[in-house]
Amino acid sequence: MSYRNILTLFFTLTIILSFSSSVYAEKILIIQTIPTMPYKRALKGFRESCNCNILKKVFQVRAHKNLQKDIYEQKPDRLVVMGTPAVQMVSNAIDDLPILAMMADDLAPEITARSNIDHVVVNLPPEKQVLAFLEVIPGLRKIGILYTEKDSGHIVRSAQRALTTKETRLIPKVLANANELPLKIRDIREEIDGLWVTPDSASKEPLLVKHIILHSMHFHFPILSTGWLYAEIGAAVSVDLDPYYISEEVSYILNEKLLSAKKKGIEKEVPRSFVIDAKRARIFINQTVVKNINLKIAEKYKGAKYSSLDIRNLK
């Protein structure tokens, strides 16, 4: 076969393959709760990692008076829905299109049980959270944590296991209810060099938030927080999932599990819910607080406000 014929055959096959992939690729409509920064970052991550046929138009559920009609007008094959409120609204409006729910960890069982809903939950393991704090503040030795057993008991036990080979230890104080927090914080405030605040019902009340922050400033110990509740109002270091990388994990599930199973005709063999551990976390460092309490942090984090951390390597 001549060089010209080989070249012609190559381009012909390329065109055929491109045509066939475009014909069979699902059209995916992304629906968000509201266009805030976490959802924008998740959208960016999904577009850059999915390698799939994503429609240009992105829906915010509260902007549509007739959500069902507007969705059908886009003629999507699958919906990727970000955020619990959006999933709740879309699942009530649509029952004949596959829905992939993400960033919606607290969905009601009656929603996740529906036959058209796949659900991806990305976890930030507690043991990785406490090791991330040590990555930023290597000198931490005694970390206090005030918690209720119901909300955070599993977090305490996981973190304690992670610290068994470290010089750092937890000083846990279990609370019967939120009213005990002011008394318990007085019990430990002079023996700790950091206070870990988890997403616990006992530490979410506005007055208690203020109480914790005032103690941190007066006794010069850093607040270490999970999530962003304290990030802008007094925590020295906060660690949370990065929506960009959540989307990377969801893209993998979509391509390698759901779409792959559909092509093979084995959709019923694939689980409807996926719970996976995050590979990366996003760290927020409040440099103003670091300076005010004279906190010593690792050299590479000095001056940094945000940092992306590969938590798989933390041990």
Residue 313's pLDDT is what?
87
CA-angle at 298, arms to 297 and 303, nearest 5°: 70
Residue 270's pLDDT is what?
77
Residue 208's pLDDT is what?
86
C-alpha 246/C-alpha 128 separation (Å) is 16
C-alpha 50/C-alpha 19 separation (Å) is 19
Residue 24's pLDDT is what?
43
Q: Show pLDDT as tens, one digit a residue, over the chain (315 residues).
A: 555 555 454 544 444 444 334 334 789 999 999 889 999 999 999 999 998 899 999 999 888 889 999 999 999 999 999 999 999 999 999 999 999 999 999 899 999 999 999 999 999 999 999 999 999 999 999 999 999 999 999 999 999 999 999 999 999 999 998 899 999 999 998 899 999 999 888 888 888 888 898 889 899 999 999 887 677 788 999 999 999 999 999 999 998 888 887 878 777 767 889 999 999 999 999 999 999 999 999 999 999 999 999 999 898
Q: Do 3-123+244-277 and 126-240+279-313 show the same overall fold?
A: yes
- Where exactly are the structural domains of the chain? 3-123+244-277, 126-240+279-313
Helix (H, G, I), strand (E, B) or coil at 1: coil
CA-angle at 248, arms to 247 and 249, nearest 5°: 90
Q: What is the CATH number assigned to the segment(s) 3-123+244-277?
A: 3.40.50.2300
Looking at the domain 126-240+279-313, which fold is it?
Rossmann fold (3.40.50)
As a dihedral over the C-alpha atoms of residue 250, residue 251, residue 256, residue 258, rounded to 10 degrees, the angle is: 70
pTM: 0.83
Expressed in percent and rounded to 5, the helix, strand and coil fractions of the chain are 45, 20, 30
- What's the half-sphere exposure (Cβ side, CA atoms, 13 Å) at 254? 28
Residue 87's pLDDT is what?
96
